[in-house]
Structure 1
Amino acid sequence: MTTATKNPYLLLTPGPLTTTDSVKSAMLIDWCTWDKEYNGLVQEIRSELVQLSTQHTGDYTSVLMQGSGSFCVESVIGSVIPSNGKLAVLVNGAYGARIAQMAGVLNIDMVVLDFGETERADAARLEALLQQDAEITHVAVVHGETTTGMLNPIREIGAIAKQYGKTYIVDAMSTFGGIELDVAELQIDFLISSSNKCIQGVPGFGFVIAKREELALCRGRARSLALDLFDQWDTMEHQNGKWRFTSPTHVVHAFYQAMKELAEEGGIAKRQQRYENNHRLLVKGMERLGFRTLLPAEYQSPIITSFYYPDSTEFSFETFYKRMKEEGFVLYPGKITSAQTFRIGNIGDVHEHDIERLVEAIERNRFWS
């Protein structure tokens, strides 16, 4: 699909991201939340999400939740962990830290394993912690930490969590739909993502892929009315796709269209190939211009890449950002404290020729050279 001509720039961010004309066009009709056709569409989305997430579809279900991805994460943290439970959070970026912050606000007993900003989460350290602290009941980790572009080893972490009998929560906000995975094989109990990431919809709701037997235990646990994950699922499940409160109808239709376009592209495997190709071309082009990546290649996701500032006192990210926006590209500032960086995303309706145009634009605007 081509980028809409009315777009003044391409979003090279981890979401919201550049969407196709047809996804945007799906939002031009107003829908009633009680309409049977609309509710049936919600049920189709829920079923398709499970099919995208695992071959063991009978063991899993899905639930949609209004709000940004963080709303959905908080619905899981606040609904899944019982009052006598204890959460271990593996942190190596802002989004792992946000999970810990949520748990703190909700007065959930918690321990944080902090790996710093540029190191992968380590399953061996988790095992050592679980051996020391038998009170831990739940383990949470971010799959793709867009603070840096880090891809955490969720298979190894899940294996340790399950070896010690823990419930396993994975924030796959920026990876689901863009990186192949099977929640059953990875032993994930709750996987969380959002409408405006790799499935390439627009912001407005998140979703949870949940193991049915684990979700069934969550009745009455929620610390919030609006973010009660079990009650939201129970209503959708038994009232044919009905949301408890007003749903983002336009966003849901855009997401439905985006899911059709994911299938037309060839599914998650093909989309992952496109993202990986975007990433390879980006790194190759940026290195040719003298930029260095923050992370080693073996840690790097194909979602977003962090680059160090050039070794020049004349470089100003604000000036660079403004010039790139004038050229038709919106980049992301850095988010770590230990180094001066900026980030470039590869996801959304972004293709090889877009990356080539970006590198050419950066070369034209090397004011710091």
Structure 2
Amino acid sequence: MTEHSRDPWLLTPGPLTTSATVKQAMLHDWGSRDHDFIAINARMRRRLVDLAGGEGTHVCVPIQGSGTFAVEAMISTLLPADGKLLVLINGAYGKRIAKICDYAGHAYTVIETPEDTPIDPTAVAAALARDSAITHVAAVQCETTSGVLNPLPEIAAAVAAAGRHLLVDAMSAFGALPLDVRQVPFDALAASSNKCLEGVPGMGFVIIRQAALEAAKGNAPSLSLDLHDQWQSMEKNGQWRFTPPIHVIVAFDQALTEHEAEGGVAGRGARYRENCRILIDGMRAMGFETLLPDRLQAPIIVTFHMPVDPQFHFETFYDSLRGRGYVIYPGKLTVADSFRIGCIGRLGATEIRGALEAVRATLAEMGVKSGAPAKAA
């Protein structure tokens, strides 16, 4: 297949490359009140709860929109008016949670570390011990600003030991990295259809401890983002309150079937780890350096320092790779000038090696001798 006869490979944190069969699932129309669609929706919800190990304790409440809609709905529904949220920040998505609190008028405090530094669980425990007003803690499992993996099991243990409630933004990792409520206690996690589960954009979901959701009635200041009301409707008749993203859901159901066939979280995670290994080894061979040491790097997206070579211009680099059929991602850091390459989506070793060859060809075309960054002073 030539570079002009197919869609580009998306080496991004999402939206991302999907399988042909996921795309094909969207070629049909469904009625939102149709029995067959209601059955698909129910199956999707059960599968997601099972992936989180939440059978018997947790429920899944899907919601229209991007992952941020799900995160905002989770916070708005579960944080009571007299609650206070501790937000753990080491990147743009932790900052976004704080911004959600600003808009809604929620009381909150933060622990913030640099974008290349994981959250320290002992600092979380100390903050909870100091401030008895904190009722909930919000943590990002994998912060795609840098690709850093936060120590969520240790954070969850600190929150549970203090008798508080954990809310997890698992957007970039759910389905590829382990997150089982039987080992990592949480009240809720938010994720979306278009990340490691390899569906298409348009739907978020929150997996919530049922007892916490039952106690949250009346908390949400927004009708559209009220997960308790959405859940009650689905429990009553299996239907969404408002028009659902039907084609997204049907495609997602197919994506979940393919996820299961690949071996679930273990199988999907293994492919992504191999993608990440090949990518990092290949880029380092060209002189590029990763922002993170290997011990902190999640196999989701990798941040690379910009080369110091004066012939390197990121816009030219990006456009040339795009012309060769590979789309990467600009950097989002404040700590370093960088760009990012994703490891997720319907990609394997062949596609990653193809991307590396495109990088080599692009550097040669630009006259860049090495991808090495400037040396630290």
TM-score (norm 2): 0.95
CA–CA separation in structure 2 for the residues paired with 1:313 and 1:219: 58
Partner of 1:102, secondary structure, is helix
Is 1:233 the counterpart of 2:231? The answer is: yes
Partner of 1:354, secondary structure, is helix
Partner of 1:186: 184
Q: Post-superposition shift, 1:52?
A: 1.0
CA–CA separation in structure 1 for the residues paired with 2:95 and 2:346: 29
Q: Post-superposition shift, 1:66?
A: 0.4
Structure 1: runs of 5+ lacking an equivalent: none
Is 1:293 the counterpart of 2:280? The answer is: no
Is 1:93 the counterpart of 2:125? The answer is: no
Q: Post-superposition shift, 1:268?
A: 1.3
Cα 1:3–1:68, aligned 2, differ >3 Å: closer, same or farther? farther
Cα 1:94–1:316, aligned 2, differ >3 Å: closer, same or farther? same
Residue by residue over 1:235-263, the C-alpha shift from the partner in whole angstroms, topping out at 9 and shown as x without a partner, is 112212x0010000000010001011111
CA–CA separation in structure 2 for the residues paired with 1:285 and 1:181: 30
Q: Which amino acid aligns with 2:341?
A: I
Partner of 1:100, secondary structure, is helix
Partner of 2:341, secondary structure, is strand
Is 1:341 the counterpart of 2:338? The answer is: yes
2:116 to 118, 126, 129: 118
Q: Which amino acid aligns with 1:39?
A: I
Is 1:304 the counterpart of 2:301? The answer is: yes
Q: Which amino acid aligns with 1:111?
A: T
Q: Post-superposition shift, 1:7?
A: 3.2
CA–CA separation in structure 2 for the residues paired with 1:3 and 1:165: 57
Q: Post-superposition shift, 1:313?
A: 2.0
Cα 1:325–1:4, aligned 2, differ >3 Å: closer, same or farther? closer
Q: Which amino acid aligns with 2:316?
A: T
Structure 2: runs of 5+ lacking an equivalent: 370-377
1:273 to 251, 270, 276: 270
Q: Which amino acid aligns with 1:343?
A: R
Partner of 2:62, secondary structure, is strand
Partner of 2:314: 317
Q: Which amino acid aligns with 2:97?
A: I
Q: Which amino acid aligns with 2:352?
A: I
CA–CA separation in structure 2 for the residues paired with 1:229 and 1:4: 43
CA–CA separation in structure 1 for the residues paired with 2:81 and 2:47: 33
1:144 to 142, 148, 153: 142
Partner of 2:208, secondary structure, is strand
Is 1:248 the counterpart of 2:245? The answer is: yes
CA–CA separation in structure 1 for the residues paired with 2:123 and 2:2: 44
Cα 1:111–1:132, aligned 2, differ >3 Å: closer, same or farther? same
Q: Post-superposition shift, 1:164?
A: 0.8
Partner of 2:215, secondary structure, is helix
Q: Which amino acid aligns with 1:207?
A: F
Partner of 1:39: 38
Is 1:25 the counterpart of 2:34? The answer is: no
Q: Figure out how many residues of one structure are paired with residues of the other and give that number.
A: 366
Pick which of 56-65 and 322-331 moved more.
56-65
Residue by residue over 1:311-330, the C-alpha shift from the partner in whole angstroms, topping out at 9 and shown as x without a partner, is 21221110000000011100
Partner of 2:375: none
Question: Percent sequence identity over matched residues?
Answer: 45
CA–CA separation in structure 2 for the residues paired with 1:277 and 1:233: 38
Partner of 1:364: 361
Cα 1:4–1:42, aligned 2, differ >3 Å: closer, same or farther? farther
CA–CA separation in structure 2 for the residues paired with 1:170 and 1:258: 23
CA–CA separation in structure 2 for the residues paired with 1:301 and 1:99: 21
2:133 to 119, 125, 135: 135
Q: Post-superposition shift, 1:111?
A: 0.1
CA–CA separation in structure 2 for the residues paired with 1:85 and 1:60: 22
CA–CA separation in structure 1 for the residues paired with 2:338 and 2:82: 41
> Superposition RMSD on alpha carbons, in Å?
1.4
Residue by residue over 1:270-290, the C-alpha shift from the partner in whole angstroms, topping out at 9 and shown as x without a partner, is 110000000000000000000
Q: Post-superposition shift, 1:123?
A: 0.7
TM-score (norm 1): 0.97
CA–CA separation in structure 2 for the residues paired with 1:45 and 1:144: 24
Question: For 1:61-100, what aligned pairs fall within 5 Å after superposition?
Answer: 61-100=59-98
Mapped contact 1:3–1:349 kept (Cα < 8 A):
no
CA–CA separation in structure 2 for the residues paired with 1:354 and 1:246: 37
CA–CA separation in structure 2 for the residues paired with 1:221 and 1:84: 10
Mapped contact 2:3–2:324 kept (Cα < 8 A):
no
Mapped contact 1:42–1:252 kept (Cα < 8 A):
yes
